[in-house]
Amino acid sequence: MIDLHMHSTFSDGSLTPEQLAAEAQRCGLTAASLTDHDGTSGVDRFVQACAQVGVLGIPGVEISVDIKKGTLHMLGYFIRTGDAAIEDVLVRIRDGRRLRNEEILHKLNKIGLAMTWDEVSAFASEDVVGRPHFAKAMAARGYVATHHEAFDRYLGKGCPAYAERFRMSPGDSIDAIRKAGGVAVLSHPFTLELKPDTLRASVAEWRDLGLAGIEVYYSEHSPDLVRQYEQLARDLGLVATGGSDFHGDLNPNVHMGTGFGNLNVPDRCVDELKQRMNA
C-alpha cells in the first residue's frame, strides 16, 4: 500500500514530517510522498524519517497553478529539493500567498469578522499560512461551526473574503518540476470543473508539455471518476497515480493510505513514475 499525496505542518497539515513517517509505517505503507503546498521545507526531514522506519520516502511538492475556472494543482515527484529551478518558483508563489493573506484578513475585518494576524498565524505550526488557518481562527471565534462552513460562506471562490494570488501556468509548473529532476502529475482533476472532452484536450496539451501522470486514485473520486480517469490515463499514455490528500486533524475523516476507507493506490505507480524521470 502506498500514498503519494499528504501534507505536513509545513503547509496545511497537522503532523510534522517525522510524525507523518511514523504514521506511514504504522499504516503499513511501503512508499509515501510528502507533497506540501508550494514548498519543500519539510521534505528532507520526511525522507530521512521514512528511511529510519523502513518506508520509501519520495520527495514531492504540490504547486498552485493558474486556470480560468476551478482549481488546478500540479504534483511533482522525485524532485531535487533546493534546486534553484523549482525553489525560485515556489518562493514567488509563497510571496503571492502572503499578499493574498493580507487581503483576506482585510476583507474579513471589513465585513465585521474581527480577527488579527496573530490569531490566524497561531494555527500554523510552521511559516506557511493559508486559508485553512483562517478557517480555524474563524471557528475559534465562533464565526463558523466548521472548516467547510468557513470556505462555503467566506473563503471559497466567489465568497466575500476570497482573494486571488499569483500562480504558475500549467506549462511553467511542469517545466520547473522537470528541470528539478522530477516528474509532473496532474492532481485531483475533478477540481478543474471541466467536461470530459475539455479535460481530455487540456490533459493532452499538458502531456505534450511534459506531464507524466494523472492522479486517478484519490479520496474524493467516485468509482465512476476513477474509471473515467483510468481510461484517460491509458488513452494518453500517462501514469495513473494516487494518494489520500491526508491533512491529519484538518480533515480527520481522510486516513493515510485508505482515504475514506476504500482508497487503494497500486504499488506499481512508484516504478512507473521512476521510469518517467528525465524522459
Q: Beta strands 56-65 and 72-77: pairing type?
A: antiparallel
Question: What does the alpha-carbon distance between residue 58 and residue 238 come to, in Å, rounded to a whole number?
Answer: 19
Q: Is the dihedral angle over the CA atoms 265, 270, 275, 279 positive or is it negative?
A: positive
Joined together, the cell numbers standing for residue 185 give 502529475
pLDDT confidence of residue 278: 66
pLDDT confidence of residue 127: 62
Backbone angles phi, psi at 77, to 5 degrees: -115, 150
Domains defined along the chain, listed by start:
2-90+166-276 (3.20.20.140)
pLDDT confidence of residue 141: 93
pLDDT confidence of residue 137: 93
Question: What does the alpha-carbon distance between residue 257 and residue 218 come to, in Å, rounded to a whole number?
Answer: 10
Q: Kindly report the pTM of this predicted structure.
A: 0.84
pLDDT confidence of residue 279: 64
pLDDT confidence of residue 102: 93
Joined together, the cell numbers standing for residue 85 give 529551478
pLDDT tens, per residue, the chain with 279 residues:
999 999 999 988 999 999 999 999 999 999 999 999 999 999 999 999 999 999 999 999 999 898 877 889 999 999 999 898 899 989 888 888 889 899 999 999 999 999 999 999 888 766 678 888 899 899 999 999 998 899 999 998 889 999 887 778 999 999 999 999 999 999 999 999 999 999 999 999 999 999 999 999 999 999 999 999 999 999 999 999 999 999 998 889 999 999 999 999 999 999 999 999 866
Residue listed under C-alpha cell 505503507: 29
CA distances from 74 to 134, 151, 257 (A): 24, 22, 20
Question: What does the alpha-carbon distance between residue 226 and residue 220 come to, in Å, rounded to a whole number?
Answer: 10
Burial code (b: 16+ CB inside 10 Å, e: under 16) for 120-138 equals beebbbeebbbbbbbbbbb
